[in-house]
Structure 1
Amino acid sequence: MRALSTRSVAEGMQALARATADPTSTVSEAWPMPGNAGLSFGCDVVDRDGTTPLVIRLAPPGVRRRGNTDVLRIVPLLDSLAAAGVPVAAVRWSVDDPRWFGTDAVVQDRLDALPLHMADPALSATVSVPHALAQAVEVLARIHATPPPPGWPEPRPLAEEIDFWAPMLGRSSEPAWTDAGTALHDALLAGIPDDPAVGVFHGDFHTNNILFDADGTLAAVVDWEISGVGAQLLDLAWLAMFTDPGCWEPAFGARMRVTADPAWLRERYETATGRSTGTFDWFRALACYRFGVITVFNVYLHRSGKRVDATWEDRARSILPLLHRGLEFLR
């Protein structure tokens, strides 16, 4: 657990900077960054050239490196994206030597930018929703045009993607969740698209993971931990789900700060990519299934005491709306 101490993170970053960059470097403190399961920290490195704001992303100590627990896997992707003109936070260090943080780490620039936050105006950039979303779709088209890094795994077939989430649905404590999730699972399997566009996808593409400068210009897309190679239309469907009040329980939908017409998002994406999106509604259903099941699983972790987080109780009210909305898309 050494890697989760703010003091040890600051000490590790100072030692790394002194050993590899400037022996006069100092780091006085580190602090937890929002989200990322307590594995992301901010700090400032001060050396003879000035102050460099950084974000340190750590692999969970003692956990097998696979998927989103393998923080180093995103480094070649970030290099490929930057080379393709996709705005991302630059990587300063990537290390697998445990002497610095006790675990693997990726250290990136911390940008003076904010997301278009879906819930909290205090955490949000000042940018109009249409302007922000138009830029988001344009950059998504550039992401989807970026070749996968060499050596990345082959894409998971859509049938496997759907079945992957089924065991998590089995953790449901509510029969209605199980019934609706199973019905959506079966309906998705029955209508899998024949030839989806496959390539790099972000995996969690919404406006909380897109940063904007003070003038409203898109500065970077962040949080690539669940990125991969697969059916790319899921990214657009994910953005549509998080901007569609009809996917959520009414009280939550009524207070959503960032909303959009899915047809508008779809049209802009088709223009930016030159692709047809005839299977968009199927992928919207998959997005609803995926996040609905993720919520089921996190509610289970909270209620069982394995990972207590009361925010999932609030989100639990949207499980049935998500699953039912997904079934609507397939009908």
Structure 2
Amino acid sequence: MTWLITGGAGFIGSHVVRAMLAAGERVAVLDDLSTGDPSRIPEGVPFVKGSTLDGACLRRTLRELSVAGVVHLAAKKQVAESVARPLHYYRENVHGLQTLLEACAESGVEAFVFSSSAAVYGMPDVDLVTEDTPCAPINPYGETKLAGEWMVRAAGKAHAMATASLRYFNVAGAATPELADAGVFNLVPMVFEKISRGEAPVIFGEDYATPDGTCVRDFIHVEDIASAHLAAARHLLARGPGTDLVLNIGRGEGVSVRRMIGLIGEVTGYGAECAPAGAPRRPGDPARVVASAARIRDELDWSARRDLREMVTSAWDGWCLRHPGARR
């Protein structure tokens, strides 16, 4: 059977492609290349340049490649942009998913893994976020992911597809420098950009009710994210129709922004130059968002294997590949 990876030329998608190939799975990639890079797709992997909004392309791809399972990662994912362009995000993330699910139902796809996000939780006031923590997204991006989960679950029940929605926490790291995140939207690359320019990293808010006053997050290596997708995909095929999973993907360990910036200073060799500057809180930033990883461990016998230093070191190698002057 073939697994179609939508968004497989992107940062996370390319890692999922490689993890599934390494495990002996047959994969193909569909990506519109709006943010993806075709050089990330391994040689020999079938590639279709297309959008999830193009139903005819999707039906043709599923039929011609004999696709039995889909891992859906293609989506818009910048929170600030989603606030400025909510209709664009609903079109791409919700209508695109609807079009894909319609094609899957028509083609008899057996299993569907959906890339969701911890953004569905909003600002949870709990020490550990479980899958049963109420969902209250605070931006259009999170809303589109929650709506996507509802749609995936309903389509699975109606069309005999086994389904899983995987809620990512804070993704970092890279399997190889070439696969590192090229965007500057998350904490780790944002700090890299600052120190490479000789500027101080910025901490937004130093007065939270946390041990050091800064926000606490759950960081997870992108290779662990990829291995979780592989585990979910295989579980769905083994269990068959009627299977419906919603799972957090995290390490279950909270790390403060200040601690993470300090580690970046150690790994990069920038040391004291990585001392952060304080700034006012950003609206909507919760003090603490840390995953409970108990359910994914129990359901899939999966747990994260890589630590913070591995995340930062591998991400820094990727940054320096694209910015050779940054390394000391």
Q: TM-score, normalised by structure 2?
A: 0.28
In our comparison, the structure showing a higher alpha carbon Rg is: 1
The structure with higher relative contact order (CA 8 Å, sep 6+) is 2
TM-score (norm 1): 0.28
